[in-house]
Chains A and B, each alone.
Chain A
Amino acid sequence: MTTLRIKNAIKQYPNGAQAVKGVSVDVEDGELVVFVGPSGCGKSTLLRMVAGLEEVTDGDIELNGRVVNNLEPADRNIAMVFQNYALYPHMSVRKNLAYGLKNRGTPAEEINRKVEEAGALLQISEFLDRKPSQLSGGQRQRVAMGRAIVRNPAIFLFDEPLSNLDAKLRNQMRLEIKKLQRRLDTAAIYVTHDQVEAMTLADRIVVLNNGMVEQIGTPTEVYSRPATTFVASFIGAPPMNLIPGELSNGSLRIGGHTMPMQSAHAGPVTFGFRPERAHMNGADSGLAVDIGVIEELGAHRLIHGRVGDHEVTVAQDSELPPPDGRMMLAFSEQDTHLFDPETGVRV
């Protein structure tokens, strides 16, 4: 069944600016959907519309088959984890967890039981009587999640919850969030601008740009068949190389070189390939790259070079000998991508 249906949601501010321009997304039961995009793309606004913290200008938010557009956040059966945790600083961890339940009129024994359960689940039982200021960043993060868990919501909403943590802790918490979400088997929306978080966490990724959906798909789909040049350059690090070229009669002309390319399309295109999906072949055929700078990263190295006037980056296994001067690149068919140069849409 579908937990959440966002139908053509629009958010327009009183000054006429549109933050969300008609987005439709479904979140299935137990699914973790990640909204990813650059800052200002409307991903947080969309999440806050689901939470009820922003009014919906047009369209519907349907949670468990019920339109919740005009319900208060507390009546929507959602739980949210904020970027800065938003814990109540003057309350102990226990009271932080219990506050929402208390406001709902839950009996005291039940509150106690739920708080203890959440505490055990998140390994914060020993901190229950401390104040948030006495906890580390990771522990506060757990408390914030605990506050969401005790409510038993239909859906969890995470608003960039890991961006205040250092890199090491972030990786650890990322894994924990995923495990926890699997274990609770509750649907979740996770907002981030970090494509690594998006790729690792998501069952499905929604790539947003400029208030509109660029692509919805599994991490593999989004990575291997990006729908637009925006998705292609946003997902993957380093980003996909995009070079303008011209298709005609089964061959692609790029910067004075010609490569065989089977496509029904003809005319100008944007040719894309991933740095890590290019093979260097000793042969003379393929895409010629004039090598510039080489960055050694340990496991692999990044080779920055030029095809004609366009900069490209190629990743190579460090065990291979570094190339010199000029290299020829070959691609498997599924690793080449063609986009319309005008619209940026995949052809």
Chain B
Amino acid sequence: MAVTEIDSSTESPSTTKVASADKRPRRKTRVFDHVVLLLGVLLMMGPIIVAFTTSTFDHVTIHRQGMQFGWGGEFLETYKNVLYQEGGFTGEVTGLLMTQNSLILGLGFAIGKIVVSMLAAYAIVYFRFPLATFSFWVIFTTLLLPLEVRILPSYEVVQQLGMLNTYSGLIIPLIASATGTFFFRQFFKSVPNELMEAARIDGAGPVQFFWDILVPLSKTMMAAIFIIMFVVGWNQYLWPTLMTTEEGYFTLVRGIRNIMQQMIGADIPEYNEALAMAILAMLPPALVIIIFQRMFIKGLVEQEK
């Protein structure tokens, strides 16, 4: 037995070595690639995993021993509390309500931006009106004036319009978008002009051309912008904080802060619930990206025309 084993192992290498010789470098780089990727994943996901595991412990443990790496067994309890327990100053806000508010803000923000910027880009690219190029650059320069710079005047306008503590007040001032207008302008410019002429000969008016031809062609582009804008909208913090004082309009991102605020009192803050809420707040944007990611890449890389 032993002899034959040695025999086979000494005989075969001559053939296998040749084969593995040109495979080895490739396998090496492949292993190396994976190590790099795994490190990246750990770096990115580590804090999230720790936040998740910690959120399954009760807040006293966390307060005493810091972040936890194991399974605390309080998972159901904590997450149920976060979603359904009525909290806040008035005791009327639940996690679910805040999730709903965040969704309304994120969706309204993203969809509103897409609609407004598509219409603006359509006007700029397809209609000849005085100072068209000039107006485009005016829109474009608003990129230099982010919300934070003009937040007080914006607040004043919204307040005068009586839109404080409303969803429209939360969303509408944010949906004008230079970035979106710019992206759609570039995209529309790349659509061959003959398509518009063919549509004109086919009897399509401006609205019909927009709806029947441009909108379907922009699908991937819309998906790409939707992803970006949904995440941005979802993560809004400063504007909602200013705009809404009624707790019924609080978003998840604000909710996290609210829980931590209990620090001021004698109580130990509900670390576990804050972490659970952070995890929950991360889920919808992550889901949106996972669902739309293929269209997202397609929209940025290729266009079917």
Residues from chain A with Cβ under 8 Å of B204 in the complex: 74, 99, 103
Interface residues of A in 99-113 (CB under 8 A from B): 99-100, 103-104
A74 near B216 (CB under 8 angstroms)? Answer: no
A82 near B197 (CB under 8 angstroms)? Answer: yes
Given A89-B217, A103-B208, also A84-B201 (CB < 8 A): no
B213 near A53 (CB under 8 angstroms)? Answer: no
Residues from chain A with Cβ under 8 Å of B157 in the complex: none
Given A86-B195, A103-B208, also A53-B216 (CB < 8 A): no
Residues from chain A with Cβ under 8 Å of B202 in the complex: 74, 99-100, 103, 147
Residues from chain A with Cβ under 8 Å of B194 in the complex: 82-84, 86
Given A84-B194, A99-B212, also A78-B201 (CB < 8 A): yes
Does B28 sit at the interface, judged by CB under 8 A?
no
Does A213 sit at the interface, judged by CB under 8 A?
no
The minimal Cβ–Cβ distance linking B170 to chain A, given in whole angstroms, is 35
B213 near A84 (CB under 8 angstroms)? Answer: no
The minimal Cβ–Cβ distance linking A130 to chain B, given in whole angstroms, is 14
Closest Cβ neighbor of A95 among chain B residues: B212
Does A220 sit at the interface, judged by CB under 8 A?
no
B198 near A86 (CB under 8 angstroms)? Answer: yes
Interface residues of A in 69-90 (CB under 8 A from B): 72-74, 78-80, 82-84, 86-90
Does B305 sit at the interface, judged by CB under 8 A?
yes
B203 near A104 (CB under 8 angstroms)? Answer: yes
Closest Cβ neighbor of B204 among chain A residues: A103
Q: Which of A52, A83, A84, A99 has the most CB of B within 10 A?
A: A99
Q: Which of B192, B201, B213 has the most CB of A within 10 A?
A: B201
With A and B bound together, what is the CA distance between A274 and B101 in angstroms?
83
Residues from chain B with Cβ under 8 Å of A53 in the complex: 197, 200-201
Closest Cβ neighbor of A133 among chain B residues: B304
With A and B bound together, what is the CA distance between A79 and B194 in angstroms?
13
Does A41 sit at the interface, judged by CB under 8 A?
no
Closest Cβ neighbor of A74 among chain B residues: B203
With A and B bound together, what is the CA distance between A84 and B191 in angstroms?
12
Does A51 sit at the interface, judged by CB under 8 A?
yes
Residues from chain A with Cβ under 8 Å of B217 in the complex: 89-90
Interface residues of A in 43-95 (CB under 8 A from B): 51-53, 72-74, 78-80, 82-84, 86-90
Residues from chain B with Cβ under 8 Å of A73 in the complex: 197, 200-201
The minimal Cβ–Cβ distance linking B220 to chain A, given in whole angstroms, is 11
Residues of B in contact with A, size category: 10 to 19
With A and B bound together, what is the CA distance between A15 and B216 in angstroms?
36
Residues of A in contact with B, size category: 20 to 34
With A and B bound together, what is the CA distance between A1 and B212 in angstroms?
38
With A and B bound together, what is the CA distance between A82 and B201 in angstroms?
11
Task: For B201, give its contact among A80, A83, A87, A90 (CB under 8 Å).
Answer: A80
B213 near A79 (CB under 8 angstroms)? Answer: no
B195 near A88 (CB under 8 angstroms)? Answer: yes
Closest Cβ neighbor of A87 among chain B residues: B198
Residues from chain B with Cβ under 8 Å of A83 in the complex: 194
The minimal Cβ–Cβ distance linking B128 to chain A, given in whole angstroms, is 11
With A and B bound together, what is the CA distance between A74 and B199 in angstroms?
9
With A and B bound together, what is the CA distance between A51 and B202 in angstroms?
12
The minimal Cβ–Cβ distance linking B209 to chain A, given in whole angstroms, is 10
With A and B bound together, what is the CA distance between A88 and B305 in angstroms?
8
B198 near A80 (CB under 8 angstroms)? Answer: yes
The minimal Cβ–Cβ distance linking A56 to chain B, given in whole angstroms, is 16
Closest Cβ neighbor of B202 among chain A residues: A100
The minimal Cβ–Cβ distance linking B204 to chain A, given in whole angstroms, is 6
Residues from chain A with Cβ under 8 Å of B213 in the complex: 88, 90
Residues from chain A with Cβ under 8 Å of B208 in the complex: 103
Q: Which of A72, A80, A83, A86 has the most CB of B within 10 A?
A: A86
With A and B bound together, what is the CA distance between A80 and B201 in angstroms?
8
B180-210 vs A, Cβ < 8 Å mask (1 yes, 0 no): 0000000000001011011111111000100
B200 near A72 (CB under 8 angstroms)? Answer: yes
With A and B bound together, what is the CA distance between A86 and B194 in angstroms?
6
Residues from chain A with Cβ under 8 Å of B197 in the complex: 51, 53, 73, 80, 82, 86
The minimal Cβ–Cβ distance linking A169 to chain B, given in whole angstroms, is 20
The minimal Cβ–Cβ distance linking A100 to chain B, given in whole angstroms, is 4
The minimal Cβ–Cβ distance linking A188 to chain B, given in whole angstroms, is 15
Q: List residues of B whose CB falls within 8 A of some A CB.
A: 192, 194-195, 197-204, 208, 212-213, 216-217, 304-305
Chosen A-B contacts, 25 in total, with CB atoms closer than 8 Å, are: A51-B197, A53-B197, A53-B200, A72-B200, A73-B197, A73-B201, A74-B200, A78-B201, A80-B198, A82-B194, A83-B194, A86-B192, A86-B194, A86-B197, A86-B198, A88-B195, A88-B199, A89-B304, A90-B217, A99-B199, A99-B202, A99-B204, A103-B208, A104-B203, A147-B202
Among all A-B residue pairs, the 10 with the closest Cβ atoms: A74-B203, A100-B202, A86-B194, A103-B203, A86-B198, A90-B216, A82-B194, A73-B201, A73-B200, A99-B202
